[in-house]
Structure 1
Amino acid sequence: MELHIEKWDSMNLGKLSRQAMLSKLQKEGYDTTVYTFGTGTVFGDHSHSVNKKDAILSGRFLFRMGGEEVILEPGDQLEVPKGKTHYAECVGSEPVTFVDASKYS
């Protein structure tokens, strides 16, 4: 299985919040940007030149990579290796807010 979802660990990290997620990812060495996209927004097949992690703050995010598909929900984090083709789509009835985390080194 290529898709390894890391769930928010509220026992060790506290309640999920924007600031708590940003702090966690920054401690892991990621540069972070928060985006919100409306339902139905599609990110067709693409790849990135750096290692990334998508972390969901609200909404539902369909993600496909390596022949696998998963729905990411609040607190879910998923590593996206550099150069790996993937697809994503905002699904459900509410906008998706997520942290786009990039690791440049």
Structure 2
Amino acid sequence: MNLKALSITACKACGSTALGWHSAIVNRSDVQQGRLNTRDVECIFFLGCDACSETLARVTADQVAGAMNAAAAASACLTGTATAATSAHDSAVVVAAL
């Protein structure tokens, strides 16, 4: 996940600190509504200002899932409960997240 997004505390447009995370499904293709397949849409999370509706950050569901997996792997390493299922890729993600 974009770690810069987590450090945003105020709106760059109006200065408000009333910020909130929201989710949406977006069409990433030219396929018209009603003919969409799951490969044509994606989930995004965005940080928005509740005062002026400015979008301050946008992350994909894959980035959120990666950050959650990295946090879980880091927790498993710290508590000694890491298993053989923890891959080298997961370890690399943890190091990158730290």
Q: Please indicate the TM-score interval, normalised by the length of the shorter structure.
A: under 0.3
Does 1 or 2 have the higher relative contact order (CA < 8 Å, sep 6+)? 1
**Structure number having the greater strand percentage:** 1
TM (norm. structure 2) is: 0.27
Structure 1-normalised TM-score? 0.25
More helix by share: 2
